[in-house]
Amino acid sequence: MDDELLKSLAKEYGTPLYVYDADLIKHKCRAFKESFKDFPVEVKPCYAVKANTNLNVLKIIEQEGFGADVVSQGELDAVLRSGFQPANVMYTSNSKTESDLRSAVEAKVNVTVGNTDEINVFKKVGGHRIAFRVNPNVDAKTHPKISTALAGSKFGLHFMEGIAEEAVKKALDSSLNVAGIHCHIGSNVGDMSGFVEAGEKMFEFAAKLKYDYNIQLDFIDLGGGLGVRYQNEKVASVNDFAQAYKPLVEAGVEKLGYKPVIWFEPGRYIVAEAGVLLCTVNSIKKTPAKNFINTDAGFNDLVRPAMYDAYHHIRLAGKDGESISYDVAGNLCESGDILGKDRMLPEAEKGDIVVVENGGAYGFSMSSNYNSIPKPAEILVDGGESRLIRRRQSLEQLYEDQVV
């Protein structure tokens, strides 16, 4: 998105402000589908809603023919409001209440269970068609906080010591129909080897279910995780991603003798690059040790740098050059509230607009009211038109749930 447009949006709506590019979201959805077009089986792409839950963003993705991966009653409600068909929705989380499971069963969406205790509850609330999230014990080679299939991870039923198999037996004993298996090994993954290892293990497990238990699965869900380039790291393209899976899926269906639908759950790939966070320079501080650009946004708006030491490219709208090293600081009372460290930028002045790139995924959706600061507004730029898709939170809204 062009800096003049971003500056005018910042002026009109104030900052901090998230701005999303609808065309880029559509392009990413199409590129994802296109890369699987010569696949030997039906592929169902499902958007991982946690990356960006704005209803307008969901609507675009639904209209591109995607399903949705949800993790809570809130996300389930959001996708049903946005027109996603229940058959194209996967509800996966590591820990569900009876009420979560009842909502999912009543909504007739696909449900995965990632522990044995949930099997009885699933049955109790009227569930018939169960799926299992398994843990294939694979290193996704990403940040430890977003690795989800290590031996010590809380997610899924481990293949180790036959835990996943025992869960399947328990479901069969409870007369449930085992419809699918699911895994998700981690997020922002750039190297395909973990995906391939996990995919092969998933097909091996599917073959075990067929030949030992006579189970023919409707689907194998291979999760999300495809990364995007935040800095200059090596990241596989979506075509590399599809091509890495192709031989193992071909070999897998051959061994199975039937063709389960293969689900994928990309979140970040679809929306990360389509969003920026705009903030305003409040002040500049030059010290003998460091120069700071003090902005009006912080980790309440974008937590990724503080939480994962994540790099987000930062520029000053409409200014070029790399003359001064700055730390781009947030406005919270926390030393860790730095949006970008040691960034070479042009000379900054109070009032400049700072553009934090790749903010479309896990940006607003992880925002908070820390330090009692209202959440930012969101704008969608669609075919040359810009519109407000979430009002800035007001101070009054910070108190509306408090009982005094």
CB of 365 to ligand LLP, least distance (A): 8
CA distance 129 to 179: 6
Helices 193-213 and 238-256, packing angle to 10 deg: 20
Total number of residues shown for the chain: 404
Q: Which stretch, 208-216, 264-272, 339-347, 385-393, contacts ligand LLP (CB under 6 A)? A: 264-272
Q: Segment 312-341, which members bind ligand LLP (CB under 6 A)?
A: none
Three-state DSSP state, 193:
helix
- Residue number, 256 or 303, with CB nearest to ligand LLP: 303
CB of 186 to ligand LLP, least distance (A): 7
- Residue number, 16 or 223, with CB nearest to ligand LLP: 223
- Residue number, 133 or 343, with CB nearest to ligand LLP: 133
Q: Segment 117-146, which members bind ligand LLP (CB under 6 A)?
A: 146
Is residue 194 near ligand LLP by the rule CB under 6 A? no
**Alpha carbon 185 to chain centroid, angstroms:** 13
Is residue 362 near ligand LLP by the rule CB under 6 A? yes
CB of 259 to ligand LLP, least distance (A): 22
Listed residue (374, 318, 311) closest to 346, CA to CA: 318
Is residue 188 near ligand LLP by the rule CB under 6 A? yes
Instruction: Work out which of 268, 312, 315, 375 binds ligand LLP, going by CB under 6 A.
Output: 268
CB of 273 to ligand LLP, least distance (A): 12
Listed residue (202, 96, 218, 192) closest to 159, CA to CA: 202
* Residue 323 CB contacts under 8 Å (≥ 6 apart), including other chains: 344, 345, 346, 347
> Please, are residues 375 and 298 in contact by the beta-carbon 8 Å criterion?
no
Is residue 267 near ligand LLP by the rule CB under 6 A? yes
333 carries an active-site annotation: yes
Is residue 266 near ligand LLP by the rule CB under 6 A? yes
Instruction: Work out which of 35, 187, 300, 386 binds ligand LLP, going by CB under 6 A.
Output: 187
Amino acid identity of residue 144, one-letter, is P
- Residue number, 13 or 32, with CB nearest to ligand LLP: 32
CB of 329 to ligand LLP, least distance (A): 20
- Residue number, 265 or 352, with CB nearest to ligand LLP: 265
Is residue 48 near ligand LLP by the rule CB under 6 A? yes
Listed residue (43, 46, 80) closest to 61, CA to CA: 46
Q: Which tokens in the block code for residue 76?
A: 């389930």
CA distance 208 to 164: 11
Listed residue (367, 385, 384) closest to 376, CA to CA: 367
**83 phi and psi, to 5 degrees?**
95, 5
Is residue 69 near ligand LLP by the rule CB under 6 A? yes
Instruction: Work out which of 28, 96, 102, 184 binds ligand LLP, going by CB under 6 A.
Output: 184
Amino acid identity of residue 168, one-letter, is V
Q: Which tokens in the block code for residue 29?
A: 């959805």
> Please, are residues 158 and 135 in contact by the beta-carbon 8 Å criterion?
yes
CB of 23 to ligand LLP, least distance (A): 20
CB of 148 to ligand LLP, least distance (A): 6
91 bridge partner residues: 70, 111
CA distance 354 to 148: 33
Count CB neighbours of 344 within 10 A. 10
Give the x-and-dash track for 217-256 against ligand LLP (CB under 6 A): ------xxxx------------------------------
Q: Say which of 29, 183, 279, 333 is annotated catalytic.
A: 333
Site residues, ligand LLP (CB under 6 A): 48, 51, 69, 92, 146, 184, 187-188, 223-226, 265-269, 304, 308, 362, 366
Q: List residues with catalytic annotation.
A: 333
